[in-house]
Amino acid sequence: MNDLLVELHPPLAWVRLNRPEKRNAVTSAMWSGLIDLARQFSVPSSTRVILLRGMGTVAFSAGADIAEMEQNLANTRRIKEMAQAVLDAQVAWERIPLPTIAVIQGACTGGGCGLALACDLRLGSPEAFFAIPPAKLGLAYSLADTKRLYNLVGPALTKDILFTGRRINAQEALSLGIINEIVPSALIQKRAIALAEQISRNAENSVRAAKAVVNLISAGINTETPESRRYYDESFSSAEFLEGARAFIKKRSPKF
């Protein structure tokens, strides 16, 4: 069985964590596979939006595969390699230039929660819950992981969540900004597709620029950079702007 399933339905792409019997716990091979997919999605193609979900309804992902880690507890080098693979995969997904949507049902915990936070948008079912439990495992949370959470909920709540390792239900996650919407389980895939299609109908250069600039701001950059200025300047000479302006003048929908 392929533990990572990819379905291309241009302009959308689905990536599914396919270990429902293990609550979609992510193995080292899967983390490496997610890095490879991030590289593939960073190359221009017909894909405009990526949707990520876990198979089944019990869990988006319970995080890194603890059984695999247990088998390697005596091998310090291997444990460090596995931990690094988790970090590398999350950074790779955060840096995909395309918009990404995590579709979350059930448990979204540990490294699985980190992966969801590396996506741009998150939809959750009413049964979804979140937890980041390093304090219960004697582990430290990485700066990159901590900053993604911090950017969403602020310093005090980041400390609360990491100090306690407590479970956060869907309603609290919505109120904190961890998820964008709560959608009934029976409708969540349909809603995710509708949102992705809405995004895909807009100008690709505009969406990519928005993601890049928001990520710069999240990284603490608050003044214009050559990169952000280039996105702004080049947009005025783009084919998308020409089409958008013509459509606006003629009062029709643009065709990007």
Q: Do 150 and 26 sit in the same domain of this protein? A: yes
Q: Shortest CA distance to 162 belongs to which of 195, 177, 140, 144?
A: 140
Residues 71 and 89 sit within 8 Å (Cβ to Cβ)? no
Q: What is the CATH number of the domain that holds 66?
A: 3.90.226.10
Calculate ∠ Cα 58-60-66, nearest 5°.
Answer: 90
Residue 107 lies in a domain: yes
CA 109 – CA 131 distance, rounded (Å): 5
Residue 134 lies in a domain: yes
Q: Do 195 and 207 sit in the same domain of this protein? A: no
Which amino acid type is present at position 126? P
CA 161 – CA 179 distance, rounded (Å): 15
Tens-binned pLDDT, residue by residue, of the chain (256 aa): 599 999 999 999 999 999 999 999 999 999 999 999 999 999 999 999 999 999 999 999 999 998 888 888 888 899 899 999 999 999 999 999 999 999 999 999 999 999 999 999 999 999 999 999 999 999 999 999 999 999 999 999 999 999 999 999 999 999 999 999 999 999 999 999 999 999 999 999 999 999 999 999 999 999 999 999 999 999 999 999 999 999 999 999 999 9
Query: What's the domain range around 108?
Result: 4-199
